[in-house]
Structure 1
Amino acid sequence: MASFIIEGGHELQGEITPQGAKNEALQVICATLLTSEPVRIKNIPEILDVNNLIRLLIDMGVKVTHNGRGDATFQANELNLEFMKSDEYLERCTRLRGSVLMTGPLLARYGRATVPKPGGDKIGRRRLDTHFFGFMKLGAVSSYNPIDSIYEIKAEREHLKGNYILLDEASVTGTANIIMAAVLAEGETTIYNAACEPYVQQLCKMLVRMGADIKGIGSNLLTINGVMRLGGTEHTVLPDMIEIGSFIGIAAMVGNGITIKNVSYENLGIIPYAFKRLGIKMEHRGDDIYIPKQDEYEIESFIDGSFMTLADSPWPGLTPDLLSVLIVVASQAKGSVLFHQKMFESRLFFVDKLIDMGAQIILCDPHRAVVVGHNKQLQLRARRMVSPDIRAGIALLIAALSADGISRIDNVEQIDRGYQEIEQRLNALGARISRQR
């Protein structure tokens, strides 16, 4: 298990470019299973989750050609279907949350899929009901073995059949999975209450270039007319909006003028506004964001003067993946704010570590926390901590960068799952982070 040793209190300055989006990369890489023709994907983040998925595809028989850094061509023309029944395949899937995104393509193309209960962040129960509800509406049947935690799903007939699907929640991975199953189904599929995040839009646009017929892209009502086959294409992954938000948080806490390059600003949605509500000043320059040094920043109140609340919600609302970073930033603001994490019941438990560092936070229940800011008058204290998940891990790293003294964060493989070479990139701005194994 690797650790970060962080010497806090150093100001960061300069330019940094975000990596490709992790969540989009997982979706579009799995979508290459829908065709036997080559699909080239650029701006792939070289992070643990994505690298593990690519290695799994290679062992499944997908031919992967590396054209350069973050640039690969995938061709799934000779899959080893027997490997997908092996204990090794199932065990590796349990350690990779993104593996669930292979279900839709495999079901659409081969009529069956075996899905072990996927792993990932320990942030509370993450059900798959939405995925399987959609598959069953398309004519699949599923079974679950509670002893081995394995789902078996297969089509009742040769091809899936289009249908009207009203999702019980706007699940991003659920929507993506159902879209990938529906593009090869017979007839028309309507998906209502679909997730419409930019990454889902990107997946749809890529599938359209491959020959899919999808209407309503960018809305929560998608209409898909199934086709017989899909072809190859090229696709470029968007910059990672969560990493961009993390860099805004770093710039607010310890920055002395940081420019975040090539952010695809039109795809950031409400993210810049959420930080501005905490009082963070920033400038939109072309496709870059410049965050000047924040000597202080003050949390806004609502128009009627009432207490500010920030809550996650489906796109175009605030992504839950950034609440951990926003909580850390609020700890040094002037004023108070209530954070409401609606989606995952265990995601806020990491605030105990911030409280140990001196942050004034009241954890009301598993979903709500009140932060009373220090107004940068009281520096956080260095501590030894363990990263419980990707987003809490980066939040703790931001706290450690601003803390007085030397902090240690263990289990940084969790951070590696979502952030590419994060210590080298931050050290180039003036941070002092070393990795120990």
Structure 2
Amino acid sequence: MGAFEIIGGKKLKGEIIPQGAKNEVLQILCAVLLTPERVEIENVPNIIDVNKLIDLLSDLGVKVEKLGDEHYAFTAENVDIEYMHSDTFKKKGSGLRGSIMIVGPLLARFGKGYIPKPGGDKIGRRRLDTHFIGFQKLGANFNYKSKENFYEVEANHLKGTYLHLDEPSVTGTANILMAASMAKGTTTLYNAACEPYIQQLCKMLNSMGAKIKGAGSNLLTIEGVDYLGGCKHRVLPDMIEIGSFIGLAAMTGSEITIKDVNYPMLGIIPDTFRRLGIKMELKGDDLYIPAQDSYEIESYIDGSIMTISDNPWPGFTPDLLSIVLVVASQAKGAVLIHQKMFESRLFFVDKLIDMGAQIILCDPHRATVIGLDHKVNLRGISMTSPDIRAGVSLLIAALSADGKSTIHNIEQIDRGYQNIDTRLQALGADIKRIS
């Protein structure tokens, strides 16, 4: 198991380019299964979760060509459906959360899709009911082998229908959307997720010949087609990484320019950080974060303490609440962080408390942060990364802290952040990877 050794307290400076969006590319990679034709994808991040999914697609019989750094072509002409019954598939498929999204395209094209219970971050319950209820309403038969934790869906043909999702699940919307794109007739998908990831998937599918309307809203209309062809697609910059770099600049008092952020797709992320007192300036499509010695959290109009909570898009993404919490620990003022969606995501705050942060964990979903206003620095400690986003939050805290910190289990961070140590070193960070 690897670890990061960090000497904190150093101001950083320079430019950094965000990687391709992890949560988008996992959907896009699964969509290549919808066609026997060649699909070319650019801006594919070199991270563990993405590489695992590419490896899984290759095992399924998809021809994978690496055309350059972060540039791939995929041809799913000879997919081996029987491979999904193998022990190897069950082991690999259970190793990452994104594997669930191969089911929709396989069901659409081949009439069957199988998957073991997917893995992923241990941040709370992450149920799959939305996916399989959607498949059933499209006409598929569903079977769950509880002893094996193995899910099966099969259908002679899928038929368009009206679907009102019980939750705006991003992966659930993507899975159902891909299945419905080749169903007979029209599917109306209400309470759909409308994240930029879903907008990008709709854009890609339409370029393949799908007929999808309503992208960017929570009401999608999909007119099924008999065949989807190849396409070229470029993945958006990762908005979670962009938010992480905004937080990093604030915590370390650094001057950082984040390049090519595709600002219109960031939603309320920049404004949420501005509410913490962080200054930023849009220069073309680059986001410039000036060095600040202090930043003050806004209060509500009546003077009460502000709450920052997660909501489905276009609300604030839950993947950045951990970053906001860390950034608030050195702000001037106080804020209530309300993590509504996952009941285990705030449990990493004990490490921040050990570092000297003033945080009260009210319950599994809420934490009150009293900012230190950089009057008292955090102190370096040894800690373990519990999940991707908490891991990067602890990394940001360590880079701002006095002394040496060691973060273990950094494979969690590597699952979502590409070469994070070398990219931060280029900004002047004292970070090294150790065994």
TM-score range normalised by the length of the shorter chain: over 0.9
Cα shift at 1:303: 1.6
Cα separation, 2, equivalents of 1:422 and 1:14:
15
**Pairing 1:45–2:69 present:** no
1:152 corresponding residue in structure 2? 152
Cα shift at 1:234: 0.1
1:267 corresponding residue in structure 2? 265
Question: Which amino acid in 2 is paired with 1:239?
Answer: P
SS at match of 1:349: coil
| 1:216 equivalent among 202, 214, 217 | 214
Cα shift at 1:256: 2.6
2:225 corresponding residue in structure 1? 227
SS at match of 1:362: strand
Cα shift at 1:66: 0.7
Question: Which amino acid in 1 is paired with 2:70?
Answer: G
Cα separation, 1, equivalents of 2:147 and 2:253:
50
| 2:325 equivalent among 313, 324, 327 | 327
2:24 corresponding residue in structure 1? 24
Identity, % of aligned positions: 67
Q: Is the 8 A contact 1:13 1:255 kept in 2?
A: no
SS at match of 1:347: coil
Question: Which amino acid in 1 is paired with 2:335?
Answer: V
1:389 corresponding residue in structure 2? 387
Cα separation, 1, equivalents of 2:18 and 2:254:
18
Question: Which amino acid in 2 is paired with 1:352?
Answer: D
With structure 1 as the length reference, what TM-score do the two structures score? 0.99
Cα shift at 1:284: 1.0
TM-superposition CA deviations, 1:129-150 (whole Å, max 9, x none): 1111111110012121221111
2:310 corresponding residue in structure 1? 312
Gaps of 5+ in 1: none
1:131 corresponding residue in structure 2? 131
SS at match of 2:346: helix
Question: Which amino acid in 1 is paired with 2:376?
Answer: L
Q: Is the 8 A contact 2:276 2:295 kept in 1?
A: yes
Cα shift at 1:152: 1.2
Q: Is the 8 A contact 1:166 1:191 kept in 2?
A: yes
Matches of residues 261-410 of structure 1 in structure 2 within 5 Å?
261-410=259-408
How many pairs are equivalent? Answer: 435
Matches of residues 180-191 of structure 1 in structure 2 within 5 Å?
180-191=178-189
**Pairing 1:67–2:67 present:** yes
Question: Which amino acid in 2 is paired with 1:2?
Answer: G
TM-superposition CA deviations, 1:358-413 (whole Å, max 9, x none): 00000000000000000100100111010000000000000000111110000000
Q: Is the 8 A contact 2:62 2:74 kept in 1?
A: yes
Q: Is the 8 A contact 1:330 1:372 kept in 2?
A: yes
Q: Is the 8 A contact 2:84 2:115 kept in 1?
A: no
Q: Is the 8 A contact 2:174 2:201 kept in 1?
A: yes
Cα separation, 2, equivalents of 1:72 and 1:55:
13
Q: Is the 8 A contact 1:348 1:367 kept in 2?
A: yes
Cα separation, 2, equivalents of 1:306 and 1:7:
37
TM-superposition CA deviations, 1:304-335 (whole Å, max 9, x none): 22210000000000000000000000000000
Cα separation, 1, equivalents of 2:353 and 2:238:
29
1:162 corresponding residue in structure 2? 160
Cα separation, 2, equivalents of 1:141 and 1:371:
48
TM-superposition CA deviations, 1:239-282 (whole Å, max 9, x none): 00000000000000114311000000000000001100111011
Question: Which amino acid in 2 is paired with 1:101?
Answer: M
Cα separation, 2, equivalents of 1:277 and 1:87:
50
Cα shift at 1:22: 0.3
Cα separation, 2, equivalents of 1:38 and 1:227:
18
Cα separation, 1, equivalents of 2:293 and 2:415:
32
Cα shift at 1:84: 1.3
With structure 2 as the length reference, what TM-score do the two structures score? 0.99
1:111 corresponding residue in structure 2? 111
Gaps of 5+ in 2: none
Q: Which runs of 4+ in 1 moved over 6 A?
A: none
| 1:192 equivalent among 181, 190, 193 | 190
